[in-house]
Structure 1
């Protein structure tokens, strides 16, 4: 782990972002429009954190202690005052210290959490990966049928089916589990452990 002594902007949301995950955003609050413009100008990432208590709008919410840095990959502002973005999660972090600015934005000093190690696939990994590929292919096929050339895959390319952490993260995003459960999975520091929990869920629900 390494520490970042600079203050990074936080975006508290009712969602859990995983490394390698795609997060589309529709932003209209002035404070966050200003934050995003500054991030784009300085090429600085921002942190997405699950709201522990509070709301997405209004007074600053209390965030969970572990979140995920994200970078903006696409953006558009067809309507004045409304920014549409496509962002992608990069690295997990733990909040060391946080502060609330005068406009109720959150900033934090963070400790980065090491990325999941890429390990040799085992039977559990291969089962989860092959089923995930079927799910992603089905989503993409239905999306292209419904939206044609305008379809944007909800998954970042290229896929990494040989990476246990990546496979676990994608399952954590699409399984019908609570936000609290997703947060607990995000906080696990071992990608293979995360995948093992996902595997048990898939077995219990007859998905594999």
Structure 2
């Protein structure tokens, strides 16, 4: 039996990648409770792509793989709703779920292994160059990205998975891949096809 952890889940119509940020607007009581608990305990929560159902209303059925989200900032929107900026951290696999009385979905999850630190391989150098050009053209290079990041296979793969015009199902497949080199191969395949 794998070592499992209990994690509140937030099913969404999007895939959060490790290292990526995401803005959320919180209005349902179950998610207000989740934010309060995270603030009190210093915990994160899980974001999973919706498999069946909707983001609001009855608890949706999530896919079995997701990313832990950590709250980095919060505020209030013009219409009075709580806003969050979260960052993806660890990946997890959901083994089973249950629904609390307040409608919050909670999963028993196992954490996926952290990516190995591997230099970008020659066959993937095109991907690192593509990412660097996108960052330079969009002006996000001002964020102080260290040049060494472009030689980190996992970092390059996650950033491309985040910014390329992929479908949620393509992003989900990349999220579920444990091997950073295989993730890069998938990205090469997507770029070389008509998929994006």
State TM-score, norm by structure 2: 0.88
Deviations 1:81-119 (A, max 9, x none): 511111111110011221011222100111000021111
Matches of 1:45 and 1:161, distance apart in 2 = 28
Deviations 1:147-166 (A, max 9, x none): xxxxxx7xx96672222112
Q: Which residue of 2 aligns with 1:12?
A: 11
Structure 1 unaligned spans of 5+: 145-152
1:24-63 pair list within 5 angstroms: 24-63=23-62
- Work out whether residues 124 and 199 of structure 1, in 8 Å CA contact, stay in contact via their aligned partners in 2: no
1:178 positional shift: 1.9
What's the C-alpha RMSD, in Å, of the aligned pairs?
A: 2.4
Instruction: Identify which of 190, 197, 202 aligns with 2:179.
Output: 190
Q: Describe the shift of the 1:79–1:204 C-alpha distance in structure 2 as closer, same or farther (beyond 3 A).
A: closer
1:17 positional shift: 0.9
State TM-score, norm by structure 1: 0.84
Matches of 1:115 and 1:136, distance apart in 2 = 25
Matches of 2:158 and 2:193, distance apart in 1 = 19
Q: Does 1:91 align with 2:90?
A: yes
Secondary structure of the structure 2 residue equivalent to 1:116: coil
Runs of 4+ more than 6 Å apart: none
Give the length in aligned residue pairs.
193
